[in-house]
Amino acid sequence: MPDSLPVAQVQRVVDGDTLRLSDGRSVRMIGLNAPETGKKGQSAQPFAEAAKRRLQTLVDDSGGQVSLRVGEQATDHYGRTLANVYGRNGANLEAQLLAEGLGYLVAVSPNVALVNCQQAAEKTARQTGLGVWRNSPVQSPDQINTGGFAVVSGQVTNVQRNGGGIWIEFSDALVLRIAPDLVKQFDTAALLRLKGQSIEARGWIVDRSRRGGLKSGQARWMMPITHPAMLNTSIN
Q: What is the pLDDT of residues 81-94, one digit of tens each?
A: 999 999 999 999 99
pTM above the 0.75 mark? yes
Q: Are 173 and 155 in contact (CB under 8 A)?
A: no
Task: Tell me, yes or no, whether 196 and 113 share the same domain.
Answer: no
Peptide bond into 110 cis (omega under 30): yes
**At which of 133, 157, 190 does a domain end?**
133
How many independent structural domains does the chain possess? 2
Closest CA to 101 of 50, 149, 150, 66: 50
Convert the pLDDT of each residue in 189-222 to its tens digit: 999 999 999 999 999 999 988 766 677 778 899 9
**Whether residues 106 and 155 fall in one domain:** no
Residue type, 24: G
Closest CA to 105 of 209, 216, 229: 229
The torsion angles phi and psi of 157, rounded to 5 degrees, stand at: -100, -20
Domain residues for the domain of 183 are 141-232
Q: Among 106, 133, 160, which residue terminates a domain?
A: 133
Do 151 and 127 lie in a common domain?
Answer: no
Distance CA(167)–CA(176), nearest Å, equals 6
The answer to whether residues 69 and 165 belong to one domain is no
Q: Is residue 2 part of a domain?
A: no
**Which residue, among 3, 19, 145, has the nearest Cα to 69 in the 3D structure?**
3
Distance CA 80, CA 34 (A): 16
> Do the Cβ atoms of 232 and 199 come closer than 8 Å?
yes
